Structure 1
């Protein structure tokens, strides 16, 4: 959704909420309209995550919404700044990603691989380790720095099977460190994930840092135990 449309839709909802009696927590979600409005408002809030707004910036955002809803003259030339919204979102998203990677690297047991991928073993395995040319069977869950899940074989209750050299670099490098039975967390810098071109229709924004919890179930075709 374009930010101009998002801001317009959010304006009416947040301004109405500001005029309502009591706090948002005190408002009962009794009707389907109320629940739908809450769901939309929550989604708008999640959508603002890429801006990483400070408390003061969020207060400014609320002020702008209220003034726009009231029809008062804007404090800045809106058409001039509209194109800068995506630029700001991208720069803020990059900062959020950098902090997420730094935090992951500081976790106990975490190892930073040459590509920048952060590898952390969650459960030790005892089977063989795959080579890049092997096909692997895994269960996984992928999330954004916000914690939002964008994909999960666990939720589908269907393991994924693929050639290890046919997926993102983060996986090719990280899964080779695992043994069958290992569970690990892979935190992937954008250049080792999807970069500027995430899968069409996915929840992954361009240049996103991604986190995966992966369990290596088997290496189909590997009967040597090596």
Structure 2
């Protein structure tokens, strides 16, 4: 398989598989944690679902995945539907194999260029914010560069690496744009301390149950140069308000 074909195959593969990862997927080993909505849904046995609803749900999920990857601005939905219909119907595409590959490869290059531009903007905004924020009242800075402010102290034993914790949190960019919130989902998140971004791991191991902290996480302790989906650009510093509810 050529390098170009591998890139295009990878680009096409995310179209139906990417939506299940939460903000707490990180690693050296990626760990997918189901959302509360996924864990709570149990379809009834033998339940009849309209064929149109199934088709719409599948199309919506594919479209959502594409939007989360930042591709919505490049898609002509009429042409997109024609392409799906041709593939599902086993019809010959209106483009030959070389043209198909070239179109997807061009999209890949366009996405990379946009990500680089967003990354450069995020890096500058994050650098300026963290430089100013480290002097703010109540903000403490660790050797790694993590900044935090204690809102409530908490009491008891701090979690250790690998312990499972239960937290409520809200995450924003330095622009104030929210990208995730357990409060909005209506229930706290639960995960091991070593399966989150490094800034979270470091902070959680200093917190005590009942504590509420505000975290200011440099990019290198977050998602770094890769970013996360379309919401978190490369090189972005992250701000979290975290409440440690329980250590299991």
Counterpart among 209, 212, 228 of residue 183 in structure 1: 212
Describe the shift of the 1:86–1:159 C-alpha distance in structure 2 as closer, same or farther (beyond 3 A). closer
Instruction: Summarize the Cα distance change of 1:172–1:182 in structure 2 as closer, same or farther, 3 Å threshold.
Output: same
Which residue does 1:109 correspond to in 2?
138
TM-score (norm 1): 0.56
- Which of 157, 160, 164 is the matching residue for 1:128? 157
Could you list the runs of 4 or more consecutive aligned residues of structure 1 that deviate by over 6 angstroms after TM superposition?
Answer: 83-86
SS at match of 2:208: coil
Aligned-residue CA RMSD (Å): 1.9
Q: Distance in 2 between matches of 1:188 and 1:88?
A: 21
Shift of the alpha carbon at 1:84? 8.0
Once residues 161 and 192 of structure 1 are traced to their aligned partners in structure 2, the CA distance between those partners, rounded to angstroms, is 20
Q: Distance in 2 between the 1:135 and 1:89 partners? A: 34
CA distance in 2, matches of 1:84, 1:217: 41
Q: Tell me: higher relative CO, structure 1 or 2? Use CA pairs within 8 A at least 6 residues apart.
A: 2
* 1:50-65 aligned within 5 A: none
Change (3 A) 1:154 1:84: closer
Q: Which runs of 5+ in 1 are unaligned?
A: 1-82, 221-226
Q: Post-superposition shift, 1:89?
A: 4.5
1:67-216 correspondence runs (5 A)? 89-200=118-229, 202-216=230-244
Partner Cα separation in structure 2 for residue 167 and residue 84 of structure 1: 28
DSSP-derived class of the 2:136 partner: coil
Q: TM-score, normalised by structure 2?
A: 0.52
Query: Aligned residue pairs: how many?
Result: 137
Deviation of 1:196 (Å): 2.0
Counterpart-to-counterpart distance in 2, 1:203 and 1:115: 25
